[in-house]
Amino acid sequence: MNKQYRLLDCTLRDGGHITGGNYGEKTITGTIEKLVEAKVDIIEVGFMWDKPLSTDYTRFYSMEDVKRILPKDLGQSIISVMVEKPDLLGHIEECDGTIKYVRVIFKRHLLDWACETATELLKKGYQVSMNPVNCTVYTDEEYINVIKRVNEVHPTVFSMVDTFGNMRLEDFEKRFILVNEHLDKDIQMGIHLHENLGLAFAMAQRAIEKSYPDRKYVIDGSLIGMGRDPGNLKIEQIAEYMNYKFDQGYDIPAIYDAISEYIQPLHEKYGWGFKLPYAMSAYYDLHRTYPEFLMNKGDLTMRDIDVILSRVERSEAEYYNEEYIEKLYQEYKANK
C-alpha cells in the first residue's frame, strides 16, 4: 500500500450537475455505503446549499443535513462536501469529526473570496481543499500567483482542475510540474480531470509517474465518470490501476455493485460520456456549454458545429454567453 495517494469519489456531487442534485435517498445512501465498502478514501457527497432540501438531494444547508444520509459506520472513508456559493459559512457548523473535508471551488475573479472562505473553514476545524477552476485559462505567471496566495492560506489540498478538458499529456505534465515546484511541500496536490479528449485516465497515470516523493496527492474520479458531460475520470479505472500498481486494497467488486445498482440506470437515462462536440470545445479552449447549445439545436452536422465553435472569439471563450452563441448560430445558418 502506498499512502502517498488517495482517491476522492465525486459521483454524488459532480453528477448533481446532471440530476439537479436529485438522486433519491435510496440511491444516495446506497452509493455511499458501497463506496465505504470499497474503501474509497474520500467520498464527496454533494454541495453546501443556500436553502434546506429533502434527503433526496445531494445539496445540504447544514452539516446536520449531511449527517442524515450517512451510514453509521464510515469505515476508513472521509466524507467531503463542496462550497461554491458565498454566504454559506453562517450555517456550516464547526467540525465535529463526522464531515472532515470541505472543498472550495472558485473562478479566478473570486480568489479573494476563496481565500477568506478557506481560512474560516480551517478555523472551524475542517480539512480544506482550494480548487480554482479552469487551470488552463491562467498563464504560468498567473497560476503561480494563485499558488502563492494559496500558500499563504495553507489549506490541506490545492487541486488542479482541468475544467475545459483541453489538456494534452504534455500540457498536463508541464502544469503538474509547475504546481509541484511552487506549492508548499506540506500542502497536498489534487487533480480533477474531464473526458473531453478521452485522456483523463492517461493523465492520472502520468500524474502518478511524475509525482514528487515528498508530496501527497488526491485524485478525483466518479462512478462511470458521472459528471456534467462529457464526464470525469472513471474511479473504477483508477482504483483498479492503484491496486495493480500499489496494492492499495480498494474493493473493486463493491465499486461494480455501486455502478450496477445505482449509477448505471442514471447513465442509461442521461448518457454522459465522450462526445465529439465536447472534444471540439476542448480543441478551441471553449466553455463546454457552447457545444451543448449547438447540439440541442438538432439541425447541425458535426462539421457545422466545428465551424461555429471555431468562430468563438477569445474574449467569449471562458464564460458561456448564450446570446453570443445564438448570434453565431443565426449568422451561420443565414449564410450556409
pLDDT tens track for 112-128: 999 999 999 999 999 99
- One-letter amino acid of 2: N
Alpha helix stretches (DSSP H) within the chain = 11-14, 16-19, 25-37, 63-67, 111-123, 140-153, 169-182, 200-209, 235-246, 252-258, 264-270, 276-283, 289-297, 302-310, 322-335
Which distant-in-sequence residues (6+ apart) come within 8 Å of 270 by Cβ?
A: 18, 19
Nearest to 220 by CA among 206, 235, 210: 235
Q: Read off the C-alpha cell for 191.
A: 487533480
Q: Return the residue matching grid coordinates 502544469.
A: 175
- Burial of 321 from C-beta contacts in 10 A (0-12 / 13-18 / 19+): middle
How many angstroms separate the CA atoms of 204 and 235, rounded? 11
Q: Read off the C-alpha cell for 213.
A: 516523493
pLDDT > 70 in the chain, percent: 100
How many angstroms separate the CA atoms of 166 and 169, rounded? 10
Which sequence spans correspond to the domains of the chain? 5-270, 276-335
Predicted confidence band at 336 (pLDDT cuts at 50, 70, 90)? Answer: confident
| pLDDT score of 202 more than 90 | yes
Nearest to 152 by CA among 119, 124, 123: 119
| pLDDT score of 281 more than 90 | yes
**Helices 140-153/111-123 angle, 10° precision:** 20
How many angstroms separate the CA atoms of 221 and 9, rounded? 5
Query: Buried b vs exposed e over 66-80: b needs ≥16 C-beta within 10 Å?
Result: beebbeeebeebbbb
Q: Which fold, 5-270?
A: TIM Barrel (3.20.20)
Q: What average pLDDT does this structure show over 207-231?
A: 97
pLDDT tens digits along 4-26 = 999 999 999 999 999 999 999 99
pLDDT tens digits along 167-196 = 999 999 999 999 999 999 999 999 999 999
Which distant-in-sequence residues (6+ apart) come within 8 Å of 97 by Cβ?
A: none
Q: What average pLDDT does this structure show over 293-308?
A: 97
pLDDT tens digits along 85-109 = 999 999 999 999 999 999 999 999 9
Is 111 in a helix, a strand, or coil?
helix
How many angstroms separate the CA atoms of 254 and 270, rounded? 23
Is 158 in a helix, a strand, or coil?
strand
pLDDT tens digits along 28-73 = 999 999 999 999 999 999 999 999 999 999 999 999 999 999 999 9
Rg (CA), the chain: 20
Q: What average pLDDT does this structure show over 234-251?
A: 98
Measured in whole angstroms, the distance separating CA 161 from the mean position of its chain's CA atoms is 7
Nearest to 105 by CA among 78, 126, 81: 81
pLDDT > 90 in the chain, percent: 99
Predicted confidence band at 243 (pLDDT cuts at 50, 70, 90)? Answer: very high
Is residue 48 a contact partner of residue 83, using CB atoms and an 8 Å limit?
Answer: yes
Q: Which residues pair with 132 in a beta bridge?
A: 106
How many angstroms separate the CA atoms of 317 and 202, rounded? 26
Q: Which residues pair with 82 in a beta bridge?
A: 47, 103
Report pLDDT for 248: 98
| pLDDT score of 256 more than 90 | yes
| pLDDT score of 1 more than 90 | no
